[in-house]
Amino acid sequence: MFEDLLYSVNLTTVFVFFLVLLFVYYITKPPTDIPPFPKPVLPIFGNLLSLVNKDILEYFRNLQNEYGDIYSFYMGSQLMIVINGYSAIKEALVQNGRLFSDRPTNFMSEILNEKSGIIFTSGDKWKEHRRFAVTALHEFGFGSASFEQNILEEAQELVKIFEEQNDQPFQTKGIVNICVINVISQILVGKRFKHTDDNFRDHIDKLIKGATLLGNYFPGDPLKMRYVKEISKQMKRWYESMVLEHKNSFEEGSARDYIDLYISKARSKEKEGKLSTFSDTQLYISIGDLLIAGNLTTAACIQWTLLHFLHFPEIQKKCFEDINQVVGRERLPNVKDKEHLPYLEATIMEVMRVYPLSPLALPHSVTKEVLFRGYRIPKGATVLINLDSVLRDPSTFKDPDVFRPERYLDADGHITKPEEYIPFSIGRRMCIGESVARMEIFLFLAALIQRFEFLPVEGERLPERRGILGIIHSPVPFLIRAVRRS
């Protein structure tokens, strides 16, 4: 009798569970007028199980082959619209830029960034603070000759640290990140940090880990969510300490850096008695955004290039020969040398094509319901811009999987760039520091190539050209030898 009762209870449990699943599926059933999507779309999980142990970029390439340039994807219950191909991306971000310029409201924007900062905000708040950031950065020489001097000083420091490795294998990641971030830190917080500053190194490590985890965060992963939130809290405390230090020594009319300009702006708004978005929280998050934007992409590009030199020593040799002929060994290469070093520029361009620094860009959202290429995109849907689909399009880049810098050089050896070459995206949300990032990448790499030959670890296999896909697409850490040129 007990067994019959237990059997009956089990059947009832299964039946109720089945009914619950049917109900959940019914109320979350995907609409039919959105872009096509892979099936099945499971209740709660959506298409997440399809991604287990898969390369998301390869998975998206397969979906593009099956469904075309626009398709949908369910990240749990969150609808994602993926736009592929240059024509569709340009139509969305340029021709319909106002409609596609928002950021989605999600875990990152609400919990981590408190709907603040520059990267993950939208609407008037984003416009106001983006405008302020651009103005403030340029006031302190962002992109100018003085800024170039900052880069050259950090490039010299990077060369010195590489020399200290004494031709022994080492990892470049932490060293390069610190030098690159030090360039912008002088404008943001008015000082550069020493490589021996353990507190600074610890916070930069956390910044990188947070950016990596956020980029591959899946809904429903409580351990990762808790870890990312803890990193976010620690970083915020670090920003708070720097802002407090500035407030305690602030003098109106004598702005020393970005933080001082922000404090002045916030107090001016307060005196006027107007509602203002210039809050302390907004400042903290903006500092983090400006440290990430451009700087981690710059550092990742430098690391990808060094990794490629191990696989393509003939390309490294050609870059050095050009630098040696144009610049020599008596001084560091500068921005004026760039036009005379097209092969190095072409090599950097090819690195950013084969391994785009943010292959899915940062997520967009639509400001209202949109009819796009015959499909309905609901208001609030997350829109992913698949730059990888453009940069590996064989109709533009012949043999897209082949690493070939020469594809950007014309018959006279001058740089030629196709319209479809968009590693920093396009439209209203494109990277505000693209030109500066290109300057930094060129100057750092030129200085390193001038002084060192980069070689693999003796007796070991070449490190794989594999990436970690987060907010930034960076190479898996690898060992390298920097051998001083005689």
- For 77-103, the pLDDT digits (tens) are 889 999 999 999 999 999 999 999 999
Quickly state the pLDDT bin for 2 (edges 50, 70, 90).
Answer: very low
Find, among 75, 82, 84, the residue nearest to 35 by Cα.
82
pLDDT value at 453 more than 90: yes
Q: Which residues contact 392 (CB under 8 A, 6 or more apart)?
A: 61, 353, 354, 400, 401
Q: Which residue has the higher pLDDT, 367 or 412?
A: 412
Residue 149 lies in a domain: yes
- pLDDT surpasses 70 at 18: no
- Structure token digits, residue 290: 């400006």
Q: How do beta strands 452-455 and 375-377 pair?
A: unpaired
- Rounded to 5°, angle at Cα 169 from 164 and 175: 55
Q: Identify the burial level of 42 via C-beta atoms within 10 angstroms of its C-beta, where 0-12 means exposed, 13-18 middle and 19 or more buried.
A: middle
Question: pLDDT tens across 375-397, in order?
Answer: 999 998 899 999 999 999 999 99
Least confident of 221-225, 309-313, 319-323, 429-433: 221-225
pLDDT in tens, 217-266: 555 566 667 777 888 888 899 999 999 999 999 999 899 999 999 999 99
Pick the range with the lowest mean pLDDT from 56-70, 281-295, 326-340, 451-465. 281-295
> How much is the pTM?
0.90
pLDDT on residue 398: 96
For residue 340, what are the domain limits? 31-484
pLDDT of residue 14: 52
pLDDT at position 225 is 74
Looking up residue 134, the CATH number of its domain turns out to be: 1.10.630.10
pLDDT at 17 exceeding the cut of 70: no
**Residue 433, pLDDT score:** 82
What pLDDT is attached to residue 54?
81
pLDDT at 5: 46
pLDDT at position 410 is 96
- Within a domain: residue 189? yes
Average pLDDT over residues 343-362: 95
Residue 372 host element (H or E): strand 370-372
How many domains does the chain fold into? Answer: 1
CA separation for the pair 288, 87 (Å, rounded):
33
User: Is 319 labeled as ligand-binding?
Assistant: no
For residue 26, being part of any structural domain is answered with no
- The answer to the question of residue 6 being in a domain is no
| pLDDT for residue 273 is more than 60 | yes
Phi, psi of 372, rounded to the nearest 5 degrees? -125, 115
Could you tell me if residue 439 is inside a domain? yes
**15 has a pLDDT exceeding 80:** no
Separation between Cα atoms, residue 260 and residue 250, nearest integer Å: 7
- Which pLDDT score, from 0 to 100, does residue 135 have? 94
Within-domain flag for 469: yes
Domain membership of residue 10 (yes or no) is no
> How confident is the model at residue 53, as a pLDDT?
76
Whether 280 is in a domain gets the answer yes
152-195 pLDDT, tens digit per residue, is 999 999 999 999 999 999 999 889 999 999 999 999 999 998 88
